[in-house]
Structure 1
């Protein structure tokens, strides 16, 4: 029997100003797996993540999260669904005017009717999970980059989501801190049985945490496969990304001049 899907994307197309960014994406994410999305600059990774989070409407296609098509459901259904989704943004996105503890408590205060004592206990539990026990009274400005990432993660998981999205979790971190965050992601999946989608450009991190990797290029999926399948892929674009080989740039001088002068 096929594994149950946590995310199902079918025929997803997105265009900005007449330029197509995603060109008919099809992808299934299995429940309980860690899927890493990779690709070069301009490949469509960020646009795809916004679609998965329901932040924008597509030109065509569907995106199903936990069985619900977020391209067609109403605002009330989407609000309820988001209680099962955690997001850890690239820069942490902590509120600088609030303590670490209050940042982590915020989703519980906004989306539950729990009493304050219970909320505080749950926030402390999640801070302990990410190795920030005792830091709840500090302000974000007092944290290191790695601590900000972990505090943001604690906030993302405070409501025990079934889906967790990471945007560039290792960006700006030194290799040791990045490796610690990778271990934390693996422990979270094992302990909380959540489905995790990670957008990253860090190859070492991707190879360590991924069950499968999806490569995006120019708005299309080049392949989705295990780490071993990706390493052995014969696609030159994938090998170029893996080995950091720059793509040859071909310049038609006449065409370039015509575009500059507006005569093309």
Structure 2
């Protein structure tokens, strides 16, 4: 199914879809996010980049409400995640979609049943309507006719697209992608990038993509946020990121290994200190 080329107009709004202020995060006594400020405008495709251990996944977990901030604030579609109750969080999650890195399809269910699951869980639609809506979303991701297959019968790229169909089946306003190109060959990865752009334009979605794939990031991003050691190095357009004189950003862009400086005293403390 071809998504229309001409995007629908996105209404201007002063309020960001995502607004993060002063976010800190810890795992035990190790701080992994340091005062992160992060905001995303309506209709924007924001890419979050960084090396392994930069804090991308931890930031994503806070953005989708899987972790509540210990310090700082996270607002999603106007909702303060730290103060929201269980019902408010459930209502919020019905308005967002998440495409997980490995697809996260239920292997005991057909592709069609996987896509239909959110509609069965969160709506009172009749089964015939659910079936039609789920097949429509499979058509959108170019998987029309595959609804009766099991996930084990799909290729890696097809699993990603089926997971995307499930994520958009309830027409979310906000969409998150976790490493969408991971494990895919260059052609399939390029097709998925194009699909992300089409979804934003046709469905007026705001999209956040967490990735380390530079080619994909530069193709789809309106703006890029670069993380390093839990801190935001910069947020800017592709051209601004490429032109940055920050050494760590240039290391990331040019795939240069970073030199690790060892603090001998800190190293000895880690070896000798008792766990809390």
| 2:218 aligned with 1:207 | yes
By how many angstroms is 1:61 displaced? Answer: 0.9
CA-based RMSD = 1.7
Note the alpha carbon deviations across 1:39-58, whole angstroms, 9 max, x for none.
Answer: 01111000000000100121
Give the match for residue 272 of structure 2.
262
After TM superposition, which residue ranges in structure 1, 4 or more long, deviate above 6 angstroms? none
Matches within 5 A, 1:48-127: 48-127=59-138
Count of equivalent residues: 263
Contact 2:13 2:42 in 1 (8 A): no
Matches within 5 A, 1:182-261: 182-251=193-262, 255=265, 258=268
By how many angstroms is 1:70 displaced? Answer: 1.0
CA distance in 2: counterparts of 1:263 and 1:79, whole angstroms = 42
Contact 1:212 1:225 in 2 (8 A): yes
Unaligned runs of 5+ residues in structure 1 are none
How does the TM-score come out when normalised to structure 2? Answer: 0.92
Contact 1:3 1:31 in 2 (8 A): no
CA distance in 1: counterparts of 2:99 and 2:194, whole angstroms = 16
Give the match for residue 180 of structure 2.
169
CA distance in 2: counterparts of 1:85 and 1:263, whole angstroms = 43
By how many angstroms is 1:113 displaced? Answer: 0.2
Deviates more, 1:51-60 or 1:121-130: 51-60
| 2:56 aligned with 1:45 | yes
By how many angstroms is 1:263 displaced? Answer: 8.4
Unaligned runs of 5+ residues in structure 2 are 1-11
CA distance in 2: counterparts of 1:103 and 1:172, whole angstroms = 21
CA distance in 1: counterparts of 2:265 and 2:232, whole angstroms = 30
How does the TM-score come out when normalised to structure 1? Answer: 0.96
Q: Choose from 7, 10, 14 the match for 2:25.
A: 14
CA distance in 2: counterparts of 1:85 and 1:56, whole angstroms = 16
